[in-house]
């Protein structure tokens, strides 16, 4: 009987995990559409300031035709000097 209870608990947990996974996928899809279809230029970078995502408008602002061309580049390299990058770095620090 203990095995039956454990199996039931496992099934419940599995259903819960599957539901959470579907919700995460839905949320990711909504975010992706918002990001990609935004009329504003959007760029996302990691802690090393390496660009990990950019939308089409963001790429165009930086003079690139394809957003994927920017992936892996350093975001602060697009500024002539460090002083120009300061407002961006302030956003990074929050």
Local confidence pLDDT in tens for the 94 residues of the chain: 455 668 888 899 999 999 999 999 999 999 999 999 999 999 999 989 899 999 999 999 999 999 999 999 998 888 777 676 677 666 655 4
Q: How far apart are CA 83 and CA 29, in angstroms?
A: 36
Q: With a threshold of 0.75, does the pTM exceed it?
A: no
Number of Cβ atoms within 10 Å of the Cβ of 62: 17
Q: What is the DSSP string of 5-59?
A: HHHHHHHHHHHHHHHHHHHHHHHHHHHHHHHHH-SS--EEE-TT-BEEEE-HHHH
Task: Give the burial class of 66: count Cβ atoms within 10 A of its Cβ; 0-12 exposed, 13-18 middle, 19 or more buried.
Answer: exposed
């Amino acid at each position: 009987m203990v095995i039956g209870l454990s199996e039931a608990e496992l099934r419940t947990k599995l259903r819960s995990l599957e539901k959470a996974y579907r919700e995460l996928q839905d949320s990711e899809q909504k975010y992706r559409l918002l990001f990609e279809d935004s009329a504003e230029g959007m760029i996302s970078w990691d802690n090393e300031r390496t660009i990990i995502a950019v939308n089409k408008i963001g790429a165009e602002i930086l003079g690139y035709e394809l957003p994927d061309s920017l992936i892996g580049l350093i975001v602060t390299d697009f500024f002539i000097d460090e002083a120009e990058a300061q407002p961006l770095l302030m956003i990074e620090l929050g």
